[in-house]
């Protein structure tokens, strides 16, 4: 029996585990050579087929049918939307025991921000600027997911995003390629560690290759068109960083790149990804993205499937174009046996590295969920991650932290709400396990505080809008009471309180996939509530939850304090309470610019120079500005306050000129000048003043998160090498050009501490 033979070979492979990498690879090669030698073309094509029986959240209109028969016939390489050790074992048995060659399947899932222990949405998590924490949350997600039978993750999403209309900004690390690259690597490390075959690690997939974050008009699945320079300097670095970190899989994107959809783009998936970057894992399509090339106008299913395979796409998600047309294409000479072999080999290699040929059931251990999922320790990490992701945007007269005494009016549609705490793309989490803010506040406040609660408003009063948002459950629940009655109730409790806290913002599915908005304001129902609360004259604290930067000009003007909390995850209420009451001093910083209005979009700190820049916020005729709004955002990239204050002094460079083989040492003294211990994200930006092409006004080149006790000063230092100053020029060569540079250091991208240096010839 083939199975016995396979087992024998695995034992042999295990025995060589301590040998050199090379010998490991040759073991893998000879194993796969032998296996492929026994496979029919149909079976090889079967390995390229990824299905979903529809148990999870299908993100397209198609779900797979005939699942069991196809598995037994060797026509399925991987599956997603199935979880739980028993179900996984059952499905894996069909492949291992009932298909001719017994090749195990991959079991995948979208574990985007935690598995069952949901942590903040990735945009929020990136706001912690804490790579160790981010890695830990990914590690935790891998441990929980593998305990539930899933060992292939469709994460991290690293699409640089500068248009907050796009709902999927929630899923990434914001607008900056440098920070995005660091976060991408931390997540890959967290998921994969350095051993894919360990039962508690999972294979990561970097997505969506490529440029998906630049969809025109912020509309999902839309066209992308950009210069190669922008691509290479701004949009591609995070994907490359993930590849450099050893990511096992790459997912192609829905959009086109230079006029050719990513899933059929050979330049992207082969020339760049494999030949230039050296990627040696496999490429999976996005959900039916191969088939969608028909709508893109690239031909019928047979033509687009052949195009995708030849471009370097190895596995077809859900669309079954490979399964149903590649044999015919082979007969007609449109693809070669070698094309199919190459893709099949890559998928089998992933299975080998995951240890599946050694033990196909290694991730189907029924004793694990009870031990590894939603443990106290994991919930504690989720709470920690959430509070570290919050960004304090305003805090007039230190209205925050709240005292643990007196009366607090807690109002707003998200104040006592479980359904919207987890955020978008948390299909494996259970909203009912999340801690609402009201409960969290009660748990943290202690006996000295009375909390009066009223909903005050619906997230939106518009039933049509609610219906579109409520696709995965009741996210916007329109109250039976009229908006007037609810508002009256909120005003009544506010009248009795010392301070009013309103928890407002977006429902979970107002962002995320296909959650695009053409307006970035709070829904009118909530705007009315905020206006009325402000009129009471009581100190007003706004806790905003959203999957994207909102345009909060009016709210910022009306409130005394503004705390941006994204969608915080399963421990939402505790984390919000920890920060409101000062048990944790906020330290998050924005990773996406908050615009004043939607008309400023796209808006990002690292924009290029123009010939007619606006001078400060002052309008001037024939300058690059607007009549009705300054160019500056409401809150810039990197911005975030603390309950304490930090002073930056003594910026120094160790030399004014550096040679190309030297490094520049940048130092600055940071002092905690306020009344609380706290953390500050010290950020280093560099502007290239003279170059052969227009360059960004500044770019993040380093950051350090430091903890300072009150009164403490620390000298924070950074090293910059010539390579840190490199960029792609007009001829698409990565160059370092000599000349003048400007260094900015501070607590946000408007850092006022500036020094210049020269890079010598």
- Catalytic positions, written as ranges: 286
Tokens found for residue 109? 């899932």
Number of residues this chain uses to bind ligand BGC (CB under 6 A): 7
Quickly tell me which residue has 């996984």 as its tokens. 88
Contact 664, 701 (CB under 8 A): no
Handedness of CA 9, 10, 16, 20 (dihedral sign): positive
> Residue 348: which residues within 8 A CB-CB, separation 6 or more?
32, 35, 36, 47, 103
Residue 736 sits at the vertex; the CA angle it makes with 730 and 741, to the nearest 5 degrees, is 105
Task: Tell which residue, 35, 130, 645, 145, has the closest CA to residue 395.
Answer: 645
> Per CB under 6 A, which of residues 247..306 are in contact with ligand BGC?
286-287
> Could you count the other beta carbons within 10 Å of the beta carbon of residue 575?
30
* In the complex, minimum distance from the CB of residue 415 to ligand BGC, in angstroms, rounded to a whole number: 31
* In the complex, minimum distance from the CB of residue 32 to ligand BGC, in angstroms, rounded to a whole number: 26
Cα distances from 120 to residues 316, 560, 575, in angstroms, run 30, 25, 10
> Per CB under 6 A, which of residues 515..544 are in contact with ligand BGC?
none
Q: Give yes or no for residue 113 binding ligand BGC (CB under 6 A).
A: no
Task: Compute CA 683 distance to the chain's CA centroid, rounded to the nearest angstrom.
Answer: 21
Cα distances from 99 to residues 69, 94, 150, in angstroms, run 10, 7, 21
Considering the complex, state which of residue 122 and residue 412 has its C-beta at the smaller distance from ligand BGC: 122
> Per CB under 6 A, which of residues 53..82 are in contact with ligand BGC?
59
Considering the complex, state which of residue 174 and residue 586 has its C-beta at the smaller distance from ligand BGC: 174
Here's the x/- map for ligand BGC, 133-162, by CB under 6 A: it reads as ---------------------x--------
User: Whose CB is nearest to ligand BGC?
Assistant: 59
> Per CB under 6 A, which of residues 319..378 are in contact with ligand BGC?
none
* In the complex, minimum distance from the CB of residue 637 to ligand BGC, in angstroms, rounded to a whole number: 25
Among 27, 43, 110, 159, binds ligand BGC (CB under 6 A): 110
Considering the complex, state which of residue 151 and residue 154 has its C-beta at the smaller distance from ligand BGC: 154
Considering the complex, state which of residue 28 and residue 62 has its C-beta at the smaller distance from ligand BGC: 62
Considering the complex, state which of residue 514 and residue 740 has its C-beta at the smaller distance from ligand BGC: 514
* In the complex, minimum distance from the CB of residue 164 to ligand BGC, in angstroms, rounded to a whole number: 18
Tokens found for residue 288? 């039916």
Tokens found for residue 545? 């939850």
Task: Tell which residue, 386, 509, 373, has the closest CA to residue 429.
Answer: 373
Cα distances from 271 to residues 229, 275, 338, 735, in angstroms, run 17, 5, 17, 21
> Per CB under 6 A, which of residues 175..214 are in contact with ligand BGC?
207
Considering the complex, state which of residue 287 and residue 648 has its C-beta at the smaller distance from ligand BGC: 287
Q: Distance between CA atoms of 647 and 638, rounded to whole angstroms?
A: 16
Q: Give yes or no for residue 513 binding ligand BGC (CB under 6 A).
A: yes
Quickly tell me which residue has 């998906």 as its tokens. 212
Quickly tell me which residue has 């550096």 as its tokens. 658
Q: Give yes or no for residue 232 binding ligand BGC (CB under 6 A).
A: no
Considering the complex, state which of residue 152 and residue 357 has its C-beta at the smaller distance from ligand BGC: 152
* In the complex, minimum distance from the CB of residue 287 to ligand BGC, in angstroms, rounded to a whole number: 4
Per the rule left: phi > 0, alpha: psi between -120 and 50, beta: everything else, 217 is: left
* In the complex, minimum distance from the CB of residue 345 to ligand BGC, in angstroms, rounded to a whole number: 23
Q: What percent helix, strand, coil does the chain show, rounded to 5? A: 35, 20, 45
Positions that interact with ligand BGC (CB under 6 A): 59, 110, 154, 207, 286-287, 513
């Amino acid at each position: 029996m083939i199975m016995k033979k396979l087992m024998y070979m695995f034992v042999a492979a295990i025995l060589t585990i301590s040998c050199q990498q090379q010998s490991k690879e040759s073991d893998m090669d000879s194993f796969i050579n032998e296996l492929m030698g026994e496979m029919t073309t149909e079976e090889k094509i079967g390995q390229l087929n990824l299905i979903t029986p529809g148990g999870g959240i299908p993100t397209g209109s198609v779900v797979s049918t005939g699942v069991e028969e196809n598995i037994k016939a060797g026509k399925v390489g991987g599956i997603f939307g199935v979880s739980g050790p028993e179900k996984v074992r059952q499905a894996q048995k069909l492949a291992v025991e009932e298909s001719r060659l017994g090749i195990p399947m991959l079991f995948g899932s979208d574990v985007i921000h935690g598995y069952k222990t949901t942590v903040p949405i990735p945009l929020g998590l990136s706001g912690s600027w804490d790579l160790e924490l981010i890695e830990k949350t990914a590690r935790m997600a891998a441990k929980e997911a593998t305990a539930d039978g899933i060992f292939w993750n469709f994460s991290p999403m690293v699409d640089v995003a500068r248009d907050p209309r796009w709902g999927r900004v929630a899923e990434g690390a914001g607008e900056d390629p440098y920070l995005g690259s660091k976060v991408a690597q931390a997540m890959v490390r967290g998921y994969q560690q350095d051993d894919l075959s360990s039962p508690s690690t999972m294979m990561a997939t970097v997505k969506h290759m490529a440029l998906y974050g630049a969809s025109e008009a912020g509309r999902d699945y839309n066209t992308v068109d950009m210069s190669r320079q922008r691509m290479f300097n701004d949009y591609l670095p995070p994907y490359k960083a993930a590849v450099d970190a050893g990511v096992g899989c790459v997912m192609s994107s829905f959009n086109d790149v230079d006029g050719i959809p990513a899933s059929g783009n050979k330049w992207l998936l082969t020339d760049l990804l494999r030949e230039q970057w050296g990627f040696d894992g496999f490429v999976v399509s996005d959900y039916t993205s191969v088939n969608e090339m028909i709508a893109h106008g690239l031909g019928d299913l047979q033509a687009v499937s052949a195009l995708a395979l030849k471009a370097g796409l190895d596995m077809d998600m859900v669309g079954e174009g490979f399964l149903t047309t590649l044999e015919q294409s082979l007969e007609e000479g449109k693809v070669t046996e070698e094309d199919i072999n190459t893709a099949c080999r890559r998928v089998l290699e992933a299975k080998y590295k995951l240890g599946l040929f050694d033990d196909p059931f290694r991730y189907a251990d029924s004793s694990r969920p009870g031990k590894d999922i939603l443990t106290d320790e994991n919930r504690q990490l989720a709470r920690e991650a959430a509070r570290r992701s919050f960004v304090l945007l305003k805090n007039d007269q230190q209205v925050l932290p709240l005292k643990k005494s007196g009366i607090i009016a807690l109002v707003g549609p998200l104040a006592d709400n479980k359904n919207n705490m987890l955020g978008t793309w948390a299909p494996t989490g259970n909203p009912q396990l999340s801690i609402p803010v009201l409960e969290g506040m009660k748990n943290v406040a202690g006996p000295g505080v009375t909390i009066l609660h009223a909903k005050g408003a619906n997230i939106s009063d518009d039933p049509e809008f609610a219906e579109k948002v409520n696709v995965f459950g009741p996210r916007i629940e329109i109250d039976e009471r009229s908006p007037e009655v609810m508002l009256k109730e909120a005003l009544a409790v506010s009248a009795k309180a010392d301070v009013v806290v309103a928890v407002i913002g977006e429902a979970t599915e107002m962002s995320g996939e296909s959650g695009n908005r053409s307006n970035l304001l709070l829904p009118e129902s909530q705007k009315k509530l905020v206006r009325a609360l402000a009129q009471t004259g009581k100190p007003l604290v706004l806790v905003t939850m959203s999957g994207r930067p909102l345009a909060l000009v009016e709210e910022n003007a009306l409130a005394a304090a503004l705390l941006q909390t994204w969608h915080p995850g399963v421990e939402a209420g505790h984390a919000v309470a920890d920060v409101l009451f000062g048990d944790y001093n906020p330290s998050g910083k924005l990773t996406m610019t908050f615009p004043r209005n939607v008309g400023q979009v796209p808006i990002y700190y690292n924009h290029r120079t123009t010939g007619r820049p606006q001078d400060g916020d002052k309008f001037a005729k024939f300058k690059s500005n607007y009549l009705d709004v300054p160019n500056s955002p409401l809150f810039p990239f990197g911005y975030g306050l603390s309950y304490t204050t930090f002073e930056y002094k003594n910026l120094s460079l160790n030399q004014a000129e550096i040679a190309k083989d030297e490094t520049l040492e940048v130092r600055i003294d940071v002092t905690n000048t306020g009344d609380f211990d706290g953390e500050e994200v010290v950020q280093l930006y560099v502007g290239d003043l003279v170059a052969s092409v227009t360059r960004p006004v500044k770019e993040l080149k380093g950051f350090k998160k430091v903890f300072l006790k009150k009164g403490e000063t620390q000298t924070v230092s950074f090293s910059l090498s010539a390579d840190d100053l490199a960029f792609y020029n007009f001829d698409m060569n990565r160059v370092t050009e000599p000349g003048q540079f400007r260094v900015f250091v501070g607590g946000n991208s408007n850092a006022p501490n500036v020094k210049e240096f020269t890079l010598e010839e």
